[in-house]
Amino acid sequence: MEPNRNIFREYDIRAVYEEDLKGELPYYLGKSFGSAVKKDGGKSVCIGGDNRLTTPEMKDKMIKGISESGCNVADVGIVPTPVLYFAIHKYGFDAGAMVTASHNPPEFNGVKMVIGNKSLYGKDIQKLADLIEKNDFEKGHGEIRTMEADGDYADFMLKNFSFKNTLRVGIDTGNGTLGPLIVPLFKKLGIDVFPLYTDSDPSFPNHLPDPLVPENLKDLIKTVLDNKLDIGLGYDGDGDRLGVVDENGGILWGDQLLIIYAREILKKSPGASVIFDVKCSKSLEEEVKKAGGVPVMWKTGHSLIENKLHTEKAPLAGELSGHLYFADDYYGFDDAVYASLRLLRIMDRTGKKPSALLYGVKKYHATPEIRIELPDEKKFEAVENIKSHFTSKNLRISDIDGVKVFFTDGWALVRASNTQPALVVRMEAENAGSLEKIKKEFLATVDTFLV
C-alpha cells in the first residue's frame, strides 16, 4: 500500500477524505498505529471521533486494523477530543486515537494519536507511513468493545466546579462536536447559556468551527453585545481550542488568557514555569515574571507544547491559537471546556469581567499571522539564511522555533510552517509607528531570501 505521504503531517494525519483517506488506508493506519502501541509495550487503545459524516466509516476501519494488530480497542463513540483524552487518563489506556479534522472544512478528516502520555508528532507519524509501505505489522486478535465516557467527563466537571453567581455566557461551537455536551453541562452548573450554532451539523452551515479567525467570532460578538453578556466562548470543531469574547466584544487570544490563568495559578504555586509558544506577546512574559513565575518560550505546535509542559513539570501551558493545557488539578492535555470553566471560576470568585482581569497588562501592537508561500524544499533554508543575516547584524535572536529577532521596541518572528508550504511571519511592537517600521523592514529583508 502506497499512501500519500503528504497527509502524514507534523502533528497529525489530515486529508480530503474522498481523495486520500477513503478505501483501505484507515484500516492500514489502524494496523500501523496498533503495531506502534505494541512496540511501545502497550495493548489497550481508546478511540473516539468527531461529528463528521465520514468519521464512523473511518473509525470502524481503524478499529478493525488496531484489533488485528493485537491491541484491545474501546470505542467511546462520537465525542469532542478532550473527552477522548480524559478517557485515556481516567481509565488508564495505553494509547488513544481521535478521528477528527478539527476546524477543517466538511470534506476533510484525519486522526490525532497519543501513546502513553505523549501525542505523536514528527518522526513517529512518519514511522506509521513507513510501516504501511513495508506492510510490516504486528498480528493478533484484540477485543473490541464500546464504552461511554461523556457521563464521567461531565461528572468530573460538575464535581470540580461550582459558581456563586449566575454568569451570562454566549457559546458558539460552530456546529462542531462539542455543542451537545457543553450546553447541558453548563446549564447544570447554573450558568445562563446563550447558545449559538450548538447543534451538531458537520456541513458547518454557519461558519467553520475555528475561533482563531476573527470573522468566525462576529456572530458571537453580536450576541454578547446585544444581550449584555458577561463573556462569549467560541470553540473549534473538536473542542480543544478556545476563543474568548470579552464583555465589550473584544477578542482575547490565547496569550491573554494565559495571563489570567497564570496570575491565579502562581499564587498557589509561586516560582512555577508557564510554557507558551514563540508567537505569544511579550506582555505574557512580563506578566508571568510579575506574578512570580518563570516564563518559558517554546516551539509552536500542540504535541511540542504539551510535551514541554510534562518535562518542565509546569502547571500551565498554552498557545496563541487557543490550545490551553492545565496540569494544575487536571491531566495536562488541552481541553477548551476545562479552560472555559477555569476562566468562569476566576470571574465568579473575583466578581470581575474578562477585560478587568487584564488590569495592568501593557498593550502591544501586533500583526496577525502573515503567510508567505514558499515550497517545502525551500522554506527551512530560507529561515536559516534569515537567521544568519540577523545574527551578523548583532541583534538578539532566539532560534527555538524559526528565528525571532528582538529589536529595542518590538520583535519579529519567521518560521517555516509545519503544515503548509509557507513561511509564517508575526511581529509585535510598543506602538503602531514602531510596528509599521519593523513590518516594512523585516518583510523587505525576508523577501530578499525567498529566491
Q: Which is nearer to Zn ion, 103 or 263 (CB)?
A: 103
Q: How far is CA 8 from the centre of its chain?
A: 18
Q: Which stretch binds Zn ion (CB under 5 A): 94-102, 121-129, 216-224, 387-395?
A: 94-102
Q: How far is CA 53 from the centre of its chain?
A: 22
Q: Which is nearer to Zn ion, 72 or 81 (CB)?
A: 81
d(CA 437, CA 434): 5
Q: Which is nearer to Zn ion, 72 or 102 (CB)?
A: 102
Task: Give, as ranges, the residues between 118 and 177 that touch Zn ion (CB under 5 A).
Answer: none
Shortest distance, position 102 Cβ to Zn ion, whole Å: 3
Q: Please report whether residue 236 would count as binding Zn ion according to CB under 5 A.
A: yes
Candidates 9, 52, 207, 323; catalytic one? 323
Give the cell for residue 164: 456563586
Shortest distance, position 112 Cβ to Zn ion, whole Å: 8
- The 13-32 site mask, x for binding Zn ion (CB under 5 A), equals --------------------
Alpha carbons within 13 angstroms on the beta-carbon side of residue 225 total: 10
Q: Which stretch binds Zn ion (CB under 5 A): 27-35, 98-106, 314-322, 369-377?
A: 98-106
Candidates 102, 273, 303, 417; catalytic one? 102
Q: Which stretch binds Zn ion (CB under 5 A): 236-244, 300-308, 367-375, 397-405?
A: 236-244
What is the total count of residues that contact Zn ion (CB under 5 A)? Answer: 4
Shortest distance, position 54 Cβ to Zn ion, whole Å: 17
Q: Please report whether residue 102 would count as binding Zn ion according to CB under 5 A.
A: yes
**Helix, strand or coil, per DSSP, at residue 162:** coil
d(CA 260, CA 247): 15
Q: Please report whether residue 401 would count as binding Zn ion according to CB under 5 A.
A: no
Shortest distance, position 58 Cβ to Zn ion, whole Å: 17
Q: Which stretch binds Zn ion (CB under 5 A): 231-239, 275-283, 290-298, 299-307?
A: 231-239
Shortest distance, position 135 Cβ to Zn ion, whole Å: 32
14 is catalytic: yes
Q: What are phi and psi of 445, to 5 degrees?
A: -65, -50
Give 265's contacts (C-beta < 8 A, 6+ positions apart): 272, 274, 315, 316, 328
Shortest distance, position 240 Cβ to Zn ion, whole Å: 4
Shortest distance, position 359 Cβ to Zn ion, whole Å: 31
Q: Which is nearer to Zn ion, 70 or 80 (CB)?
A: 80
323 is catalytic: yes
- DSSP one-letter string for 344-411: HHHHHHH---GGGGGTTPPPPEE---EEEE--HHHHHHHHHHHHHHHHHTT-EEE-SSSEEEEETTEE
Cα–Cα nearest to 27, from 66, 1, 71: 66
Q: Of 238, 247, 255, 277, which one interacts with Zn ion (CB under 5 A)?
A: 238
Q: Which is nearer to Zn ion, 176 or 295 (CB)?
A: 176
| Cβ(94)–Cβ(85) below 8 Å | no
d(CA 13, CA 297): 26
Give 399's contacts (C-beta < 8 A, 6+ positions apart): 387
Candidates 14, 52, 207, 263; catalytic one? 14
Q: Please report whether residue 60 would count as binding Zn ion according to CB under 5 A.
A: no
Q: Please report whether residue 104 would count as binding Zn ion according to CB under 5 A.
A: no
Residue nearest Zn ion by beta-carbon distance: 102
How many CB atoms lie under 10 A from the CB of residue 376?
12
Q: Please report whether residue 240 would count as binding Zn ion according to CB under 5 A.
A: yes
- Beta strand pairing status for 273-277 and 316-318? parallel
Give 372's contacts (C-beta < 8 A, 6+ positions apart): 422, 423, 424, 425, 446, 450
**Contact positions toward Zn ion, by CB under 5 A?**
102, 236, 238, 240
Question: Which residues does the annotation mark as catalytic?
Answer: 14, 102, 323
